[in-house]
Amino acid sequence: MRRATIDRHTSETEIRLALDLDGSGTTTIDTGLGFFDHMLTALIKHSRFDLELACSGDLHVDDHHTVEDCGLALGQALDQALADRRGIRRFAHAYAPLDEALARAVVDLSGRPSPHVDLGLTRSGIGDVAAENIGHFFQSFAIAGRMALHVDVLKGQNDHHRAEAAFKATALALRDAVALTAHADIPSTKGLL
């Protein structure tokens, strides 16, 4: 059972999250940020994970803590659900278009956090989320998930399309990277991830 439940409570956010890596793409998400909920729904739908996520954050301040802490909690859940990462594919990459936008995501579930994100967003925000926090989500997610994650939007004029393509490409790469193989070993010459 590759599942994890996270309860994260700080002075800025309260998060309850349940993740199942072997799901069907079903979600119940409420962060208080409509655009962010939309992006997380795309991430989960196309990764074929299942996610229940409820976040109550200090949105009277801004969206930063909610987006960051949801990224940290989701990354922590991914890390816990993978356990010792035995038998997973580990490496994966994917491209995802959304109309004129095209994004690439490359994942290594190495146990070593290393996020590299270039979304090329030009607007200050999309919906109720600051553009800078969209990239910050991927960084927080990769750090807590202990993975190398490269997300690049290669083209596109519409920032909504650029962001959504990035989430979808990441979803597809994650789906392949967490896939179980016929091998029961830990996919590393070091013997651990």
42: helix, coil or strand? helix
The C-alpha atoms of residue 171 and residue 141 are separated, in whole angstroms, by 12
**Residue 114: predicted pLDDT:** 98
Q: What is the pLDDT of residues 23-51, one digit of tens each?
A: 999 999 999 999 999 999 999 999 999 99
pLDDT class of 6 with cuts at 50, 70, 90: very high
The C-alpha atoms of residue 188 and residue 21 are separated, in whole angstroms, by 21
Q: What is the pLDDT of residues 122-175, one digit of tens each?
A: 999 999 999 999 999 999 999 999 999 999 999 999 999 999 999 999 999 999
Domain assignment present for residue 183? The answer is no
The C-alpha atoms of residue 148 and residue 35 are separated, in whole angstroms, by 25
Domain assignment present for residue 188? The answer is no
Domain assignment present for residue 187? The answer is no
Domain assignment present for residue 182? The answer is no
The C-alpha atoms of residue 13 and residue 22 are separated, in whole angstroms, by 27
**Residue 5: predicted pLDDT:** 98
Domain assignment present for residue 185? The answer is no
Range of the domain at 164: 3-177
CATH code of the domain in which 151 resides? 3.30.230.40
DSSP state of 137: H
Domain assignment present for residue 104? The answer is yes
Domain assignment present for residue 82? The answer is yes
Whole-model pTM?
0.98
Number of structural domains in the chain: 1
Domain assignment present for residue 193? The answer is no
**Residue 12: predicted pLDDT:** 98
The dihedral through the CA atoms of 30, 147, 116, 164 has a sign that is: negative
